[in-house]
Amino acid sequence: MNDAPPVTAAFDVQAIRAQFPILTETVRGRPLVFLDSAASAQKPRAVIEAMVHAMERQYANVHRGLHWMSERTTEAYEACRDAAARFLNAGSRDEIVLTRNSTEGINLVAHSYGRGVMRAGQAVLISEMEHHSNIVPWQMLRDAHGVELRVARVTEAGELDMDSVAAHLADGKVGLVAITHMSNVLGSYTPAERIVRLAHEAGARVLLDGSQAAVHRKVDVQALDADFYVFTGHKLYGPTGIGVLYGKAELLDRMPPFLGGGDMISTVSFERSEWARVPHKFEAGTPPILEGIGLKAAIEWVERIGFPAMEAHERALTDHALARLSAIEGVTVIGRAQDRGGVISFTLDRAHAHDVATLLDRQGIAVRAGHHCAEPLMRRFGLDSTARASFAAYTTRTEIDALAEALTRVRTFFA
């Protein structure tokens, strides 16, 4: 495996790296080895330039000015919606709600669908491997609206336990299944198509948290038949402050607004207001204009490389990393899902994850350590914390070798 050509011919990782200005930075006198892209990815020049261009050449508030600058800015911002619709293969651009991030998208659904459409006595089904942002909004819904919160199990291998999903769906009370499409801790994908099929058979709708998955794999919401799908721009090589919620038109239409304010109404008087049509109904206030323009550039950047090439590259890196890390005595990789992506959590015997991360940082290598906003999952595996290395289009095999060597040094510290 180590001798196999690491990437397909079409994929030139050095050419990709050259598009990321930050990758020429040094940390503690060494080239930056950035293995924390699952927390937030670095930005290619195309994204930076699109945002700078808007600020320097073409900027005004959107959807309201009748002047040239506002019209042009509105077009540039709204093009993000088209890009997102194409990216997810949504049936219509009106099914794309632009949010601040995944967290806001999930809260929007919990609020508007949860309180507006679900009834007390129904249940929401999540899983043990959710990010806090796909747990807490449902707890808030439970406490405010009398909805039950159920939790599907995760197997020892770190896969979603589909028997557990089926068992929770059996009594027909679950109105919404809200499950991650890829774990930000274990790297496991969940079988989204099967989840949707089972849920629909049981009369439940499905929200998929694509914060991680949408970065690494082509998502087709129509093929999945997902009812809601969220992702967040900053993990997809785009800026912070912009995210996407896809929702089926028939559902968005039935849902009451989330936040009230400008842009989300058609008429306002002191007696009553009428809501703007979907998706604007869910977009109150001045939107993240520059961020939307940046996200469009990010989506186009990803599309230019293409998921087949990116996936092949990341798969080769992940296989290599799993082999290298597992070969280090005392290192345990958490989870061994069949279908997994480039996010690897590990522990080192007799060493705390924070010490591991600090000692790796000392050697110029950025990894994340802690509970990764997934405390219940940590508890599920009897852990307080793990260190996590995660990969992106710009990650190289050499960087993974550097991680393995640095980790070997750390091990001797705590041996």
Partner 1 sequence: MSEAFEELRDLYQEVILDHGRHPRNFRRLDGALHAKGENPMCGDKVEVWLKLGAGERIEDAAFQGRGCAISIASASLMTEVLRGKTRDQARSLADAFRTLARTGACPVCDAVHEEDIERLQPLAGVAEYPSRVKCATLAWHAMEAALKGEGSATTE
Catalytically active residues, by annotation: 373
Give which of partner 1, ligand PLP, none residue 127 binds (C-beta under 5 to 8 Å, depending on kind).
Answer: none
For residue 86, which of 239, 218, 232 has the smallest C-alpha distance?
218
Does position 336 bind partner 1 by CB under 8 A? Answer: no
Does position 131 bind ligand PLP by CB under 6 A? Answer: yes
Dihedral (Cα; 388, 393, 398, 402), 10-degree rounding: -20
Does position 414 bind partner 1 by CB under 8 A? Answer: yes
Does position 102 bind ligand PLP by CB under 6 A? Answer: yes
The residue range among 101-109, 140-148, 193-201, 289-297 that interacts with ligand PLP, by the rule CB under 6 A, is 101-109
Query: Could you say which of 31, 330, 370, 376 contacts partner 1 (CB under 8 A)?
Result: 370
Query: Could you say which of 14, 28, 171, 272 contacts partner 1 (CB under 8 A)?
Result: 28
| Encoded amino acid at 225, one letter | D
Q: CB 131 → ligand PLP: shortest distance, Å?
A: 3
Crossing angle between the packed helical segments 45-57 and 289-305, to the nearest 10 degrees: 150
Structure tokens at 108: 């929007």
Give which of partner 1, ligand PLP, none residue 410 binds (C-beta under 5 to 8 Å, depending on kind).
Answer: partner 1
- Taking the C-alpha atoms of residue 215 and residue 212, their distance in angstroms, rounded to an integer, is 6
Query: Could you say which of 371, 373, 376, 397 contacts partner 1 (CB under 8 A)?
Result: 371
Dihedral (Cα; 95, 101, 103, 106), 10-degree rounding: 0
Which CB atom, from 162 or from 373, has the smaller least distance to ligand PLP? Answer: 373
- Taking the C-alpha atoms of residue 145 and residue 138, their distance in angstroms, rounded to an integer, is 10
Structure tokens at 148: 């039950």
Does position 358 bind partner 1 by CB under 8 A? Answer: yes
User: Which backbone phi and psi does 34 adopt, to 5 degrees?
Assistant: -100, 100
Query: Could you say which of 42, 73, 101, 122 contacts ligand PLP (CB under 6 A)?
Result: 101
Q: What share of the chain is helix, strand, coil (3-state, %, to 5)?
A: 45, 20, 40
Does position 354 bind partner 1 by CB under 8 A? Answer: yes
Does position 103 bind ligand PLP by CB under 6 A? Answer: yes
- Taking the C-alpha atoms of residue 183 and residue 181, their distance in angstroms, rounded to an integer, is 7
Structure tokens at 98: 């632009």
Q: CB 103 → ligand PLP: shortest distance, Å?
A: 3
Residues that bind ligand PLP (CB under 6 A): 101-103, 131, 133-134, 180, 184, 209, 211-212, 232, 373
